[in-house]
Amino acid sequence: MGILRSLTLLLIALASALSLPATAQEDDPGTALLTNLAEAPNSKVEEALNAIVSSGDPRARGWLEAYGNNRLSQVKNTGQVVVVLNNRGRDWKIANPLTGENMGEMSRRELDRVAINNAIRGQLGGILAMLDLNAPDPDVREASAQDMMGKVDALLVEPLEARLELEESAKVRNRIEEALAIYRVGEGDLDAVEVLAGSLHPRARASLNVAVRGDDPALAAKAKQALSTIEQKLKLNRAAETLYFGLSLGSVLVLAAIGLAITFGVMGVINMAHGELIMLGAYTTWGMQQLLPGQPGLALILSIPAGFMVAATAGIIIERSVIQYLKGRPLETLLATFGISLILQQLVRTVISPQNRTVVTPEWMSGSLVINDALSLTLNRMYVLGFALVVFAALMLIMRRTRLGLEVRAVTQNRNMARSMGIRATRVDIMTFALGSGVAGLAGVALSQLTNVGPNLGQNYIIDSFMVVVFGGVGNLWGTLIAGLSLGTINQLLEPWAGAVLAKIIVLVFIILFIQKRPMGLFPQKGRAAEG
Amino acid sequence: MSIFQELANRDQVFDFLAPVQSPVDVRHGPILYMEDVNVSFDGFKAINNLNLTVDDGELRCIIGPNGAGKTTMMDIITGKTRPDTGSVWFGSRHNLLTKNEPDIASLGIGRKFQKPTVFEALTVFENLELAMATDKRILPTLTAIMKPEYRDRIDEVLQTIGLQELRDRLAGILSHGQKQWLEIGMLLMQKPRLLLVDEPVAGMTEQEMERTAELLTSLAGKQSVVVVEHDMGFVRSIARKVTVLHQGSVLAEGTMDQVSNDPEVIKVYLGEEA
Amino acid sequence: MASSQNWLLRPFQERSTQLFLGVLFTALVVVTFLHLFMPQDSALHVSAYTVTLLGKYLCYALLAVAVDLVWGYLGILSLGHGAFFALGGYAMGMYLMRQIGDRGTYGDPVLPDFMVFLNWDSLPWYWQGFDMAWFAFIMVLLAPGLLALVFGFLAFRSRVTGVYLSIITQALTFALMLAFFRNEMGFGGNNGLTDFRDILGFNLRTDATRLGLFIATGIALAIGYVICRAIVASKLGRVSIACRDAEARTRFLGYRVERVQLFVFVVSAMLAGVAGALYVPQVGIINPSEFSPLFSIEIVVWVALGGRATLYGAVIGAILVNYAKTVFTGVMPDAWLFALGGLFVLVTVFLPKGIAGLLQKRHKTKPDDDTPTRQEATA
């Protein structure tokens, strides 16, 4: 399949290249190049190939690929070189390599395969990459230069050096220099070691490692030095990666906890169904994608308001139907909302499915941002991190700058006083709870991009969320942000040597002990207000 | 740990069967001595260089506008709040800043809260029983039995606070004034050397107020009493010496007449009230 | 006023305790009689399966009493009591595991099957001694007791109470669950401990042993109940209530609130451990799911349904809910979580005093009972 497709592509390319007024085949320099290759003895094949490469002919890539796939043949009678499209059966379909034109079928007996030996086949990759080095797109050139790492041999050195002279892009130049240096280190070149000292590519390290073990003591010493420089850089990159994963995990924790920081921290309501509100947000995303098949990106963006509304509505229903009757009885609220969480979970299991649902990641969120050879950051995590910060900033604005925020703070500090000043406390309760719940929904939308969406989604986050809020100091949004990010990072730091489960246990035990030491969290509220 | 230690220490039984005496050394005069005490909450200075001395057997009234630091001062004396700087001594032997609430309570400092706090799910009798000055460690409490002399003591206090009729009713059903009385009764059961009384007559009728005044003045002499009160009439009726707090420090001290003629005091406090 | 000089004998003078013990022992005798002397085909025959099921309910009842002691009388809502139950269960499970000896699949005389499977060559240090029944039974009390002591010491000393304490107890049991799921812990990982053969030399698969375990559980429940009652009826019980309702006031009276809390919490954890230890030989398995936060919070709803701060309410609640669970999961398993969730909501919103509250209300309408009882004021 793959071969056929590339052949077809090749033909299309050829056809388009030759849609210009057809030149006489005899005048085409390609004829000579191909014939030269077909008729070269083993020792001359490399030369023939280099001639094709340096010709700069746009069709060269197709020829070489066909050659590598054993699809280049010479017609016994005429000596014409053809491309074999289909080599099954007795009669083979063939095409003209110069024009791409179909030449019908020919018995395989009349054809002579252009032989390729394994040594040449091994080099072909490098030779093809060499071809790409001439491509107009610098990204293609960079990719092909990267391909060449560790594949450079004596024959490629010269064309590479030639290319280096011409190359304008600094990135591509670096790559080519590194590729050459890998070869030269192998040849015992001391200066090349210096070039590699800056490289994070695994091939560079491999070749230096070989040099360290080699016979040349001067080279070995220098290579060792270079390796330790690289090791330093790698460590830094690994630290950066851990930090990134930590912040990413932290941003998830912040998202999950920030709604709780509002309902629990500001209102003092213990909502054990908070995790299930997150779950509802995630299922909203899934539902949106079902409604808009083929447009996962649009569905995801629409899910942001939709997830907020769904979770906020659910929150209002919970507040009106249960929580308002349990005011001032936090332990009972805890139990009742836990019951609600069981009901919501089972509802999803019964109505949708007990199985996990897949939420599609839109294209612009998949893939990763490559920083260097050792560090690349996945895009979806970056988006979630950004989203968490935006949600946090928005909440801060709402609490600090809007009328609602003012009323919420007034009601929480002194309910009766606030009421006597004309604030409708009940309405504020509903709005606050809806806000906290809606944010849980937003967390669900974001989480759907990172984890499986299933009935247990929320359950997995509820204990963590409470830990984050308590750790940060109840009633303090900044505390929640810092607690979430730092707990995520601590968790990631521990994971390499403790494993995921043990890291989680250690973090939990750490928080349990921390709460004993500072019951009010990282950023406690002091004074008489805190006693009430 | 501590429980095991207690178990292990049972041979010291005579120690805690001995009647609880407050070993307070008052030969040098004051029973309570506060010097240069400072407390701040989030930058707000609740107590600012407070200096206060209460003599043994004295009845002292403390007045001051809201936020003057009266309640915080009591929190510091009873170990609830730790000051940032300063020293607080009970007699000349006990540094209160190194002790926690139960320790301070067993030394002989009793406290009545601003809001009457009694155990609403227990009967009046039981409330007094818990307050009684006995061994308050775990195992002695678990195996405690109601001795006749304890019963007599409780009945005596019930008489004093006038709640004999309600002795077996739950404290939760008492009126606000009755709760105040019960709480004072609990203080009496503790036999403290120093009583801290926070707004004892809030919510009381005129008659109840009179009886409270009588009770508090009768206590003075045997025990030292510090009363924080807003009701100026009540203060005038019991006070011999009055301390005025303002913004966390002492503004004036003296007899009621001296204080009420102090121009500073009139400006910040009485002036507003009048 | 109870007047007995001995605090442990005081409960026997209370009518509610006499009634409770009477009902419990009658039930034990009746079930034993129906199991042993009714012919198999009789409608009144109680099968060995049912005896074990009832034994399981009684374990839960003891666990519920333990939770009621701390929640009802001390005001500490522990969402981690399943951890103490499970620790007691694991201690018993380790003993039963060692009793298997060389009769396991791999026939190793010392190592349990799962350790052979994991290629361990010797017994971890913490498995030593569990071949002796007396040691294992001490550990049943000590393991949960020590955990409660350390955890409670730290928590109560820092005055962590109320919702915070509930949340960190939940985190505690969650962390333990994750830990016990790990094979490296040496407690059989996911699968836990199972395939038990005999206990104290009696084959666990015989009806007689099952009946014996049922009766033992009944007696354990009776003893646990009396201990809790004795604590509650003592002055210490009144101090507990004082801590629950006005912690600061109690402290200013000179009681060390954190020690009272610690003492009662440790006693409760040990009772939970005993319940777990009796549970394991009857159900034949102990695995990390007993540590799950859901189980711990379920216990609380048994107590809430029965009525907190009554002790007998906890027993009623545990038996009722678990009977309902047996019925539901048999008839329509999907509906059980709906029912349980609904129960949480209904009890907290409409029945804050539980079933015991309803019983007392009916009782109170009698003219001669004019003083409200202690329990009614503790909602």
Whether residue B66 lies within 8 A of chain A, CB to CB, comes out as no
Quick one: pLDDT at residue B2? 52
Quick one: pLDDT at residue A267? 80
**B264, B232, B255: which is closest to B58 by C-alpha?**
B255
The yes-or-no verdict on residue A467 having pLDDT over 80 is yes
Q: Are residues A340 and A366 in the same domain?
A: yes
Q: Are residues A279 and A341 in the same domain?
A: yes
Quick one: pLDDT at residue A6? 56
Token pair listed for A382: 């970056």
In Å, the largest CA–CA distance within chain C is: 73
The amino acid occupying position A98 is L
The yes-or-no verdict on residue C373 having pLDDT over 90 is no
Whether residue B82 lies within 8 A of chain A, CB to CB, comes out as no
Quick one: pLDDT at residue B248? 85
Q: Are residues A53 and A146 in the same domain?
A: no
Q: Is residue C71 part of a domain?
A: yes
SS (H, E, C) C249-308: HHHHCCCCHHHHHHHHHHHHHHHHHHHHHHHHHHHCEECHHHHCHHHHHHHHHHHHHHCC
The yes-or-no verdict on residue B10 having pLDDT over 50 is no
Residue to substitute from A263, A337, A459, A463, interface C, most C β-carbons within 10 A:
A463
Nearest residue, CB atoms, C345 vs list A336, A350, A517: A336
Is B131–C253 a contact, with Cβ atoms under 8 angstroms apart? yes
Domain boundary among A461, A492, A507: A461
Of A176 and C343, which is predicted with more confidence? C343
Is A334–C163 a contact, with Cβ atoms under 8 angstroms apart? yes
Token pair listed for A84: 């074999």
* CA–CA dist B32, B12 (Å, integer): 31
Nearest residue, CB atoms, C171 vs list A335, A345, A508: A508
Please compute the mean of the pLDDT values over residues A365-383 and round it to a whole number: 84
What residues of C are in contact with residue A340 (Cβ under 8 Å)? 341, 344-345
What residues of B are in contact with residue C5 (Cβ under 8 Å)? 145
Q: Is residue B77 part of a domain?
A: yes
Quick one: pLDDT at residue A321? 93
Of A10 and B224, which is predicted with more confidence? B224
> Is there a contact between C42 and C200 (Cβ–Cβ < 8 Å)?
no
Of C358 and A439, which is predicted with more confidence? A439
Nearest CA in chain B to C152: B1
Q: Are residues A298 and A369 in the same domain?
A: yes
Q: Are residues A54 and A201 in the same domain?
A: no
- What's the domain range around A31? 2-119
Q: Is residue C286 part of a domain?
A: yes
Whether residue B10 lies within 8 A of chain A, CB to CB, comes out as no
Whether residue B106 lies within 8 A of chain C, CB to CB, comes out as yes
Please compute the mean of the pLDDT values over residues B204-221 and round it to a whole number: 83
* CA–CA dist C147, C136 (Å, integer): 16
The yes-or-no verdict on residue A433 having pLDDT over 90 is yes
> Is there a contact between B150 and B132 (Cβ–Cβ < 8 Å)?
yes
SS (H, E, C) chain B: CHHHHHHHHHHHHHHHHCCCCCCCCCCCCEEEEEEEEEEEECCEEEEEEEEEEEECCCEEEEECCCCCCHHHHHHHHCCCCCCCEEEEEECCCEEHHHCCHHHHHHHCEEEECCCCCCCCCCEHHHHHHHHCCCCCCHHHHHCCCCCHHHHHHHHHHHHHHCCHHHCCCEHHHCCHHHHHHHHHHHHHHCCCCEEEEECCCCCCCHHHHHHHHHHHHHHECCEEEEEECCCHHHHHHHCCEEEEEECCEEEEEECHHHHHHCHHHHHHHHHHHC
Is C253–B113 a contact, with Cβ atoms under 8 angstroms apart? no
Is C345–A322 a contact, with Cβ atoms under 8 angstroms apart? yes
pLDDT tens track for B218-230: 888 788 899 988 7
Quick one: pLDDT at residue B3? 53
The yes-or-no verdict on residue C378 having pLDDT over 80 is no
Quick one: pLDDT at residue A23? 46
Q: Are residues A274 and A373 in the same domain?
A: yes
User: Is residue C133 classed exposed, middle or buried when 0-12, 13-18 and 19+ CB atoms within 10 A define those classes?
Assistant: middle
Q: Are residues A57 and A27 in the same domain?
A: yes
CA distance C103 to chain A (A): 33
* CA–CA dist A264, A257 (Å, integer): 10
Q: Which chains touch B (3 or more CB pairs under 8 A)?
A: A, C
Of C211 and A184, which is predicted with more confidence? C211
Query: Which of the four pLDDT bands, split at 50, 70 and 90, describes residue C240?
Result: very high
* CA–CA dist A410, A414 (Å, integer): 6
Quick one: pLDDT at residue A148? 75
Of C29 and A18, which is predicted with more confidence? C29
Of B154 and C371, which is predicted with more confidence? B154
| Lookup result for tokens 């304008």 | A168
Q: Helices A477-498 and A379-401, interaxial angle, to 10°? A: 160
Nearest CA in chain B to C251: B102
Q: Are residues A395 and A309 in the same domain?
A: yes
What residues of B are in contact with residue A531 (Cβ under 8 Å)? none
CA distance B166 to chain C (A): 11
Supply φ then ψ for residue B144, to 5 degrees: -60, 140
pLDDT tens track for A253-308: 999 999 998 888 778 888 999 999 999 999 999 999 999 988 888 999 999 999 99
Of A304 and A3, which is predicted with more confidence? A304
Q: Which residues of A touch B (CB under 8 A)?
A: 525-528
What residues of C are in contact with residue B131 (Cβ under 8 Å)? 253
Q: Is residue A111 part of a domain?
A: yes
Out of A208-212, A409-413, A445-449, give the one with best mean pLDDT. Answer: A445-449
Supply φ then ψ for residue B54, to 5 degrees: -120, 130
Whether residue C168 lies within 8 A of chain B, CB to CB, comes out as no
Nearest CA in chain C to B186: C253
pLDDT tens track for B62-98: 988 877 888 889 889 988 888 989 999 888 788 888 8
Nearest residue, CB atoms, A508 vs list C174, C304, C345: C174
Whether residue B84 lies within 8 A of chain A, CB to CB, comes out as no
Q: Name the average pLDDT for chain B.
A: 82
CA distance A501 to chain C (A): 7
User: Three-class SS of residue A86?
Assistant: strand
* CA–CA dist B183, C252 (Å, integer): 12
Q: Is residue C3 part of a domain?
A: no
Residue to substitute from C228, C235, C247, interface B, most B β-carbons within 10 A:
C235
Is C242–B130 a contact, with Cβ atoms under 8 angstroms apart? yes
Is B121–C235 a contact, with Cβ atoms under 8 angstroms apart? no
Supply φ then ψ for residue A518, to 5 degrees: -130, 85
Please compute the mean of the pLDDT values over residues B40-46 and round it to a whole number: 81
Quick one: pLDDT at residue B184? 87
The least confident of B252-266, C9-23, C335-349 is B252-266
Of A405 and C144, which is predicted with more confidence? C144
How many degrees, rounded to 5, is the angle at CA C282 between CA C279 and CA C285?
Answer: 80
* CB neighbours of residue A31 within 10 Å: 17
Q: Are residues A142 and A181 in the same domain?
A: yes
What residues of A are in contact with residue B71 (Cβ under 8 Å)? 528
Quick one: pLDDT at residue C206? 92
The least confident of A68-77, A454-463, B167-176 is A68-77
Query: Which of the four pLDDT bands, split at 50, 70 and 90, describes residue A532?
Result: very low
The least confident of A498-512, B147-161, C361-375 is C361-375
Q: Name the average pLDDT for chain A.
A: 83
Whether residue B262 lies within 8 A of chain C, CB to CB, comes out as no
Of A311 and B42, which is predicted with more confidence? A311
Q: Is residue A389 part of a domain?
A: yes
* CA–CA dist C212, C309 (Å, integer): 31
pLDDT tens track for C111-136: 998 999 889 989 999 999 999 999 99
Domain count, chain B: 1
CA distance B178 to chain A (A): 24
What residues of A are in contact with residue B44 (Cβ under 8 Å)? 527
Q: What is the DSSP letter of A265?
A: I
Nearest CA in chain B to C376: B121
Q: Is residue C2 part of a domain?
A: no
Supply φ then ψ for residue C63, to 5 degrees: -60, -40
Is B105–C378 a contact, with Cβ atoms under 8 angstroms apart? no
Nearest residue, CB atoms, C175 vs list A332, A338, A505: A505
**B109, B60, B105: which is closest to B220 by C-alpha?**
B60
Token pair listed for B9: 């220490």
Q: Is residue A487 part of a domain?
A: no
Interstrand relation of B249-254 and B241-246 (parallel, antiparallel or unpaired): antiparallel
Q: Are residues A306 and A253 in the same domain?
A: yes
Whether residue B41 lies within 8 A of chain A, CB to CB, comes out as yes
CA distance A312 to chain C (A): 20
Domain boundary among A61, A94, A119: A119
CA distance B138 to chain C (A): 6
Q: Which chains touch A (3 or more CB pairs under 8 A)?
A: B, C
Q: Is residue A69 part of a domain?
A: yes
A218-248 core/surface letters (b: 16 or more CB in 10 A; e: else) = ebbebbeebbeebeebbeebeeebeebbbbb
* CB neighbours of residue B127 within 10 Å: 29
pLDDT tens track for A441-455: 999 999 999 888 999
The yes-or-no verdict on residue C372 having pLDDT over 50 is no
Quick one: pLDDT at residue B247? 85
Quick one: pLDDT at residue B4? 54
Is A515–C160 a contact, with Cβ atoms under 8 angstroms apart? yes
| Lookup result for tokens 């009658």 | C26
pLDDT tens track for C344-371: 999 999 988 899 988 887 765 544 444 4
Q: Is residue B4 part of a domain?
A: no
Quick one: pLDDT at residue A20? 44
Quick one: pLDDT at residue A10? 55
Q: Is residue C76 part of a domain?
A: yes
Percent of chain B with pLDDT over 90: 13
What residues of C are in contact with residue A509 (Cβ under 8 Å)? 175
What residues of C are in contact with residue A349 (Cβ under 8 Å)? 334
The yes-or-no verdict on residue A415 having pLDDT over 60 is yes
Nearest residue, CB atoms, B141 vs list C236, C249, C251: C236
- Residues 6 or more apart whose CB falls under 8 angstroms from that of A207 comprise A150, A182, A185, A186, A196
- What's the domain range around B228? 29-273
For A445, half-sphere exposure in the C-beta direction (CA atoms, 13 angstrom radius) is 30
Nearest CA in chain C to B6: C259
Is C236–B122 a contact, with Cβ atoms under 8 angstroms apart? no
Of B19 and C173, which is predicted with more confidence? C173
> Is there a contact between A112 and A77 (Cβ–Cβ < 8 Å)?
no
Supply φ then ψ for residue A141, to 5 degrees: -65, -40
The yes-or-no verdict on residue A251 having pLDDT over 80 is yes
* CA–CA dist A236, A256 (Å, integer): 30
Q: Which helix (H) or strand (E) holds C243?
A: helix C235-245
The yes-or-no verdict on residue C290 having pLDDT over 90 is yes
Is C301–A350 a contact, with Cβ atoms under 8 angstroms apart? no
CA distance B205 to chain C (A): 25
Q: What is the ipTM of this complex?
A: 0.87
The yes-or-no verdict on residue B22 having pLDDT over 90 is no
Q: How far apart are the first and last CA of chain A?
A: 74
Q: Is residue C1 part of a domain?
A: no
Whether residue C378 lies within 8 A of chain B, CB to CB, comes out as yes
Domain count, chain C: 1
Going across the sheet that includes B44-55, the strands are B44-55, B30-41, B85-90, B94-95
Q: How far apart are the first and last CA of chain C?
A: 22
> Is there a contact between A35 and A79 (Cβ–Cβ < 8 Å)?
yes
What residues of B are in contact with residue C227 (Cβ under 8 Å)? none
Supply φ then ψ for residue A86, to 5 degrees: -140, 115
Q: How far apart are the first and last CA of chain B?
A: 57
Characterise C200 by phi-psi region: left (phi > 0), alpha (psi -120 to 50), beta (else).
Answer: left
- CATH number of the CATH domain containing B229: 3.40.50.300
Domain count, chain A: 3
What residues of C are in contact with residue A331 (Cβ under 8 Å)? 77, 162-163, 166
CA distance C295 to chain A (A): 12
Q: Name the average pLDDT for chain C.
A: 90
The yes-or-no verdict on residue A519 having pLDDT over 80 is no
pLDDT tens track for C142-166: 999 999 999 999 899 888 888 888 9
Residue to substitute from B39, B42, B72, interface A, most A β-carbons within 10 A:
B42
Beta bridge partners of A372: A375
- What's the domain range around C74? 10-378
What residues of A are in contact with residue B42 (Cβ under 8 Å)? 525-527
Q: What is the DSSP letter of C377?
A: G
